[in-house]
Structure 1
Amino acid sequence: MTPAERLSAIRIARVNHAGEYGAIRIYGAQIAICRHVWPSLADQLAELKAHEIEHCALFITALRERGGRPCRAMYLWSMGGWALGAASTVLGPNLIWACTEAVEDTVHQHLTDQLAFLRARDPVLHDLIESIRAEEEGHLDLARHHKTRDTRSSRAFQALVRHSVNLVIWLSTWGESSRMRRDLEAAA
């Protein structure tokens, strides 16, 4: 890899670690509220949170192996994740699943870009992301299955979630995510 490609691989591992931490915070807030209001949902969300904890550990290891440090914007992922999780839960079960759907769908797009970039440059990180993406797709399918209705308010909430996730990804990569997407589109 060139030095620029190596830096991109570090940024990918960094933003993925931060994203998994944000997902842990989302599920943590949802579980805390659901335990009092919708206990049956809390158990399902706890299972998804366990997956995110495992993914977070895998990405911090990948980041350290490449000589990188955690994201400087972790507080955004932490506070934003908690606020998003709490807001979605207060708005009801449909919005919990709408939140999960929007987050996972947005992340899926970024992972796809990352995989295309990493395929020939960092096969180990590529394979790690590919294995995690498969589990994240399961989260997306589960959310789509449980989301009971698609309303104007759920679509607006999902648009807000998507924009928020894209913004924090962009901030966490110093714009690298946008440049990578443009480079991949130009190469196609």
Structure 2
Amino acid sequence: MNQADKITISRIVKVNHAGEYGAIRIYRAQIWVAQFLYPEIVTFLKETLEHEINHCALFRSAMTERNSRPCRIMGLWGNGGLLLGFMTSLLGRQGIWLCTAAVEKAVHHHLEDQLYFLKDKDPALYSLIKDIQQEELSHLHHAEDHITINSPWARLLTRSITFATDAVIWLSTWGDSSKMAKSLRDNSNKR
């Protein structure tokens, strides 16, 4: 494997670890609000939080072997996640579902790009991400099943969360996320 691929793999593990940390903070904030205002959804949020904690630990354990270390902007992931979780939960149940769907959809697209890149380069990391992706998709589908609005504010919120998620991923990978997406698009167009 060439040095550029090793660096990209290191960045993949780093950004995935940071993203899971941000998700942990989102769900913790949402749980804190929901336990008072929407107790019927706390079980789902707690189960999802447990998944994210496990994913974070798995990516953390994958870092050493790939010469990776935690992201320099972990504070942005953590504080941003906390703020996002708190603010969206104050918007009501729909705010929580819209947030979950927007984040998970953005993450799913990035995981697809990563899987395409890793397919022949790092089978162990490929397998780990593939397994985690299934749980993330279940979060996405659950949230989408509970979204009952399609108002202008809901579309704006979704676009804003998606943009913010993509921006922090781009910053955390030094632009490698864009290169992987372009490579995937280019190869998809050749088929």
RMSD: 0.9
Letter in 2 for 1:42: V
Distance 1:34 1:176 in 2: 36
What does residue 142 of structure 1 align with? 142
Letter in 1 for 2:88: S
Over residues 139-167 of structure 1, what are the superposed CA-to-partner deviations in whole Å (9 max), with x where a residue is unaligned?
A: 01100111122221111100000000000
Q: CA–CA distance in 2 between the matches of 1:179 and 1:67?
A: 21
Aligned length: 188
| 21-30 vs 63-72, which moves further | 63-72
2:186 paired with 1:186: yes
The answer on 1:40 being equivalent to 2:34 is no
Question: Residue 37 of structure 1 aligns to which amino acid in structure 2?
Answer: L
Correspondence for 1:86: 86
- How do 1:10-29 residues align onto structure 2 when only pairs under 5 Å count? 10-29=10-29
SS where residue 68 of structure 2 aligns? coil
Structure 1 ranges of 4+ moved more than 2 A: 183-188
User: What pairs up with 1:69-148 in 2 under 5 angstroms?
Assistant: 69-148=69-148
Aligned residue identity for 2:71: C
- Cα deviation, residue 138, structure 1: 0.4
1:62 corresponds in structure 2 to: 62
Ranges in structure 1 where 5+ consecutive residues have no aligned partner: none
Shift of 1:43: 2.1
**AA at the equivalent of 1:79:** N
Q: Aligned partners of 1:183 and 1:44: how far apart in 2?
A: 36
Counterpart residue type for residue 129 of structure 1: I
Gaps of 5+ in 2: none
The alpha carbon displacement at 1:185 in A equals 2.5
Cα distance, 1:29 vs. partner?
Answer: 0.4
Q: Partner amino acid for 2:137?
A: E
Distance 1:64 1:152 in 2: 45
TM-score by length of 2: 0.96
Distance (Å, rounded) in 2 between the aligned partners of 1:186 and 1:137: 25
Amino acid at match of 1:162: T
Structure 2 CA distance, aligned partners of 1:185 and 1:104? 20
Partner secondary structure for residue 44 of structure 2: helix
Q: Distance in 2 between matches of 1:66 and 1:13?
A: 8
Between the aligned partners of 1:175 and 1:5, the Cα distance in structure 2 is 14
Structure 2 CA distance, aligned partners of 1:44 and 1:138?
11
Q: CA deviation at 1:183?
A: 2.6
Percent same amino acid at aligned positions? 47
